[in-house]
Amino acid sequence: MTMKKKLKVAAGSLLGIMFLFSAVLLIHIVVMVKNRKPLPAATLQMARADFKQPVPDQVMQTIQQAVSRQKGVKETYYNAGSRMLVYTYDNKVNTAEAIYASAIRPSGMSSERHLVSQSEATKGCPAMDNHSFYGKLTNMVARVVN
């Protein structure tokens, strides 16, 4: 086989492989996107209230019940170690401000809503270690996509 023929075979193989990968990608995108229904939790958000002093169990149960009774609230969780109350709510039904104002502030316990700072918002998921492999990979993809 001559060098020219080898180059033609290599170029043809490379183009064929690129075509196959492109076709597989296109088919995958069509299958994943076609007839998709909206995500069931697309409007679900989390909010957090930070308490400045330890909260007695009975008081926290009362606060959690008051938060749970609010329209749109799905779940509540209190972490006594970090004195944080986290709750999920449907943002089409209620707002974090309204839930805090009507259920947490009236408790009399010193607390404040946690508002995400601009630097925290740019980091993405607070649970992800940005120095790990997956954190670096996610940041790289985000830079390319955004």
pLDDT of residue 141: 78
How far apart CA 93 and CA 2 sit, in angstroms, is 72
Mean pLDDT across 118-132: 73
CA 59 vs CA 3, 30, 62, 86, 117: distances in Å: 83, 52, 5, 16, 29
144 is a domain residue: no
pLDDT of res. 42:
80
Length reported for the chain: 146
In terms of Cβ atoms closer than 10 Å to its own Cβ (0-12, 13-18, 19+), residue 47 is: buried
Any idea what the CATH number is for the domain that residue 52 is in? 3.30.70.100
- CB atoms near residue 21 (< 10 Å): 10
The verdict on residue 28 lying in a domain is no
pTM, to two decimals:
0.62
For residue 114, tell me if it sits in a domain: yes
Confirm whether 116 is domain-assigned.
yes
138 lies in some domain: no
Q: How far is CA 5 from CA 11, 13, 30, in A?
A: 10, 12, 37
pLDDT tens digit sequence for 64-97: 999 999 999 999 999 999 999 999 999 999 999 9
What tokens were used for 45? 């958000």
Cα radius of gyration rounded to whole Å, the chain: 25
Which domain, by its residues, includes 57?
44-120
Domains in the chain, number = 1
